[in-house]
Structure 1
Amino acid sequence: MSGFLYYLVAFAVVLGILVVVHEFGHYVAARWAGVKVLRFSVGFGRPLVTRRWGRDGTEWALAAFPLGGYVKMLDEREAEVAPDELHRSFNRQPVARRMVIVAAGPAANFVLAILLYWGLFCYGSEEFRPILGTPVLSSPAAAAGLDNGELVLRVAGEKVQTWQEMRWLLLQKAVDHDAVDLELLNPRQEVVVRRLDLSVVRQSGWEGDALERLGLRLYRPRLPPIIGSVSARSAAEAAGLRAGDEILDIDGEPIESWADLVRVVRQSAGQTLHFEVLRDGLRQGLSVQPSAVEEQGKDVGRIGAAVRDAGQTREQLMVTVRYDPLSALGKALVETWDKSTFTLVMIGRMITGEVSWRNLSGPVTIADYAGQSAKLGVDYYLKFLALVSISLGVLNLLPIPILDGGHLLYYLVEIIKRGPVSERTMEIGQQIGLTFLIMLMAFAFYNDINRLFSG
């Protein structure tokens, strides 16, 4: 499968799952409330595939424009309703039931995220330990005195087990704190505390990677350039490389570590390289042509060889995090809540100008992330799906006409004034909301295109 097609399929699967789950939330709530559902559509526009199913003959449709979907219910405002079915019309339901039906869509997205996180926490995942590499010069990390090989034990007093947990806590603390205390275990097995300045994250408008802004790097051990294994039908096998070969130089450039080897190979996709190797005490020359592999829109070289003793190094650098079912549920709830509130805070600060609008992503960037996470593995892909599901749930609850949150706002007004909002007011609100969303999508597309050309 080509790189473009792979990313497209990964994006389509994410989008399809999220749309179906969101609209199914509306559907289930409508059935619970006794409202007749006329159509369940994945996508907008002309239906490509339709089928009637269920007691009410609901039409299930797959439409031409896939970015979204809808559940069409019996409603007097849209068409004439038979007298014997008036009680099943959406507009005849008490306001509390209408609110439940509308809120059920975003709620389904949050439930999906909770279930995904719960399953992942129960199954367990292998992740990098929070071991720091040499910090970037003149960065907050360097100013704090952080050093190569230090293991982060706690961030602001909260225990962390993985690099991602550390990253997430730093992001949360950067919202309202100028600095944070890191408790570290250095290579001499001494516990030390360093104070890390976080203000640079906010000063940059949250643009770019926050850890890069802070100068934090993941620890990379210095491994000797000795091949541990060679993949079948790979460039390395075709060139005659074997397990145990030590790479001395490539095109005359000395290779002192496995990182040097990876760097040269990645930069040489499709080029022929001369490897000088040491095999059984004898020097030998081999010609190797790295295969071109697409990565983040660019071709990089791969030869299909793994480093020796990677297993032992893996144990030092990686940790498997797993929870019992009850603990996993609690952690899944906290994870979903934290990411929901963080998303809401970021949206609010984007409106006030504290967060750059260049952080806004559209379908192209989401598709790119979907493809990248799918390549990393099922657990990364499911985490990405959970995160986007949370974002969709939060976005739909915003009090913008045309979104679910806008309808909930109308119903709150109806409760307060003890009467429905006028049709004219709702019509104006829909136009304003639609205009706002079109502008938002246009800006997101602009950011996507800008990222493609700027890298």
Structure 2
Amino acid sequence: MDILALAPQLGSLLYTVASFILALVVIVAVHEYGHYIVGRWSGIKAEVFSLGFGPVLASRVDKHGTRWQIAALPLGGYVKFLGDADAASAGKDEAAIDALSESDRRHTMHGAPLWARFLTVLAGPVFNFVLSIAIFSTVIFWEGQPKAPLTVDQMQELPNPAITLREGDAILAVGGQPITDLASLSKVKQELPAAALVDYDVMRDGQEITVQGPHPFLPLVSQVSPRSAAYEAGLRPGDVFTQINGAPAYTFQQLVDAVEGSNGAPVALKVWRDGTDMDVTLTPKRVDEPNFDGGFTTQWRIGVVGKVFFEPATAPVGVLAALNSGVRQLWFLIEGSISGLWHMITGAISTCNMSGPVGIAEVSGAMASQGAQNFVWFIGSLSAAVGLLNLFPVPVLDGGHLAFYAYEAVAGRAPSDKVLRVLMAAGLALVLSLMVFALGNDIFCP
């Protein structure tokens, strides 16, 4: 076997692993820092803050007596508080607690007031949500919003040399349909002819003129979904489909119709990339997609996302508006995740929608390969998922601890150590079973 022939695959694997570890480290660090800092504010002393598990690679002790360390296996992390028997803060170190004075026991997780323990545990998921909002809001603020009138800022090279639309043109109408912004452009896209060229009324250098350009939503790839037919075929953002099953392709909707009407049969495509044509044949996969009714619709997909063919000029977005959009994006993800889980439980959609570590790692690498902004947005999305997962009332997760604290608040006493041990073992078995199931999905699901 030629070792050099394996170099590209090895490089891709390392890139995927590195991207996954980077995303995981950021998310875990923020999650655990939430536990640490709120615990400290609540008077609970942290003995160890660890990124990773296993042998310690580097460590230092700060002025508060907390040892900050980096361990060899970067697949998680933990904060060990004073008096904890383990990293999960589930059991007490009876000997250590008995050796403490009454006042010092107040600084243990098990001796602190109920409100302090509750807030300390809750802080991990909350910090994940805060990270998500910060990322989404920052990206939205950085991008800005398309200004009116809709103006061409950047335009990539396209296969039709007859295009006379230029960067800097302010679009007034397309195909005779008045245009003010992207929303109005989207509304009229179905009314425009599926042709190689469409008339654009634009303002250029103070004069209103008519020029020609492609359909606003031509079959241009803006993003490739990981683990899709398009991703496996090596398609990438910027590719333009010029033929579908031998017929000319002028709009993204033509591609959607051909794929949805394929019933899973291979679709023959001609792709234009950087002045070169190439032929690819993609076999669509069935994908469960959320719909406007809160449910899911199963569609045939090849895994490409389209958009308007030019980058519009943008105007600044206010900080509060960006923050509001960030919060709405977080809520959209949480709502969609809960809906998806419910539909999997009821059998309405396939359980293959649950990804394991391999699938998440592949998505990490794919998003990183499509640009820093896509990767950062992915980190925000994954952080939201981690925060939500940790709120589920399953022992060993933060939500399980919160459920125990809720019981303590109502009953006036904590569950017995024996009950806690049984529930923690059951919770651990459930979590491990789900991890194995998700890993099986990564391996066996198409």
TM-score, reference length from structure 1 = 0.60
The counterpart of 1:35, out of the listed 38, 41, 44, is 44
- Per-residue Cα deviation, 1:146-197 (whole angstroms, up to 9, x for no partner): xxx9x9x9xxxxx97599xx9xxxxxxxxxxxxxxx88552169xxxxxxxx
Cα distance in 1 for residues equivalent to 2:308 and 2:336: 33
Q: Secondary structure of 2:394's partner?
A: coil
> 1:361·1:447 contact (CA, 8 Å) conserved in 2?
yes
Is 1:342 the equivalent of 2:333? no
Q: Residue 372 in 1 paired to residue 366 in 2?
A: yes
Q: Does 1:328 align with 2:322?
A: yes
1:69 to 72, 77, 81: 77
In structure 1, the partner of 2:376 is 382
Q: Is 1:88 equivalent to 2:107 in the alignment?
A: yes
* 10 and 67 in structure 1: CA distance in 2 versus 1, 3 angstrom threshold: same
Structure 2 residue 35 is the aligned partner of structure 1 residue 16: no
Q: How does 1:343-422 map to 2 (within 5 A)?
A: 343-422=337-416
Is 2:20–2:364's contact at 8 Å kept on the other side of the alignment?
Answer: yes
Counterpart position of 2:66: 58
Write the distance in 2 (CA, Å) between the matches of 1:22 and 1:335.
19
Task: Give 2:191's aligned residue.
Answer: 186
Query: How many correspondences in the alignment?
Result: 306
Separation in 2, partners of 1:73, 1:374: 35
How far, CA to CA, are the matches of 2:310 and 2:35 in structure 1? Answer: 45
Distance 1:425 1:434 in 2: 14
Distance of 2:270 and 2:399 partners within structure 1: 58
- 1:232-270 C-alpha deviation (Å, 9 max, x unpaired): xxxxxxxxxxxxxxxxxxxxxxx9983797563779xxx
Q: Is the 8 A contact 1:400 1:406 kept in 2?
A: yes
Cα 1:393–1:183, aligned 2, differ >3 Å: closer, same or farther?
farther
Runs of at least 4 residues off by over 3 Å: 159-163, 182-185, 218-223, 255-263, 314-322
Q: How many angstroms does 1:317 deviate by?
A: 4.1
- TM-score under structure 2 length normalisation: 0.61
Kindly state the Cα deviation for residue 331 of structure 1 after the two structures are TM-superposed: 0.5
Q: Which residue of 2 aligns with 1:427?
A: 421
Does the C-alpha gap of structure 1 residues 423 and 401 become closer, same or farther in structure 2, counting only changes over 3 Å? same
Structure 2 residue 278 is matched with structure 1 residue 264:
yes
User: Does the residue aligned with 2:43 lie in a helix, a strand or coil?
Assistant: coil
In the TM superposition, 1:131-210 aligns within 5 A as 161=183, 185-187=190-192
The Cα offsets for residues 194-245 of structure 1, whole Å up to 9 and x where unpaired, read as xxxxxxxxxxxxx989xxxxxxxx995759xxxxxxxxxxxxxxxxxxxxxx
Unaligned runs of 5+ in 2: 1-7, 85-91, 151-174, 199-226, 230-237, 244-268, 282-306
Identity of aligned residues (%): 31
Corresponding residue for 2:209? none
| Counterpart amino acid of residue 346 in structure 1 | G
Q: Per the alignment, in what secondary structure is the counterpart of residue 399 of structure 1? A: coil
SS in 2 for 1:400: coil
SS at match of 2:77: strand
| Displacement after TM superposition at 1:4 (Å) | 1.3
- After superposition, the C-alpha distances for 1:406-454 in whole angstroms (9 at most, x for unaligned) are 0001111111111111111111111111101111111111111225xx5
CA offset at residue 315 of structure 1? 7.4
2:389 & 2:271 partners in 1: Cα distance?
47
Cα distance in structure 2, aligned partners of 1:220 and 1:22: 41
The structural deviation recorded for 1:48 is: 2.9
| Alpha-carbon distance, 1:330 to partner | 0.7
Distance 1:266 1:260 in 2: 16
Q: Which residue of 1 aligns with 2:440?
A: 446
1:331-377 Cα distance to aligned partner (Å, 9 max, x none): 11111112112112222332232232111111111111111111111
Query: Is this contact kept in 2: 1:126–1:318, CA < 8 A?
Result: no
Q: How does 1:307-318 map to 2 (within 5 A)?
A: 316-318=309-311
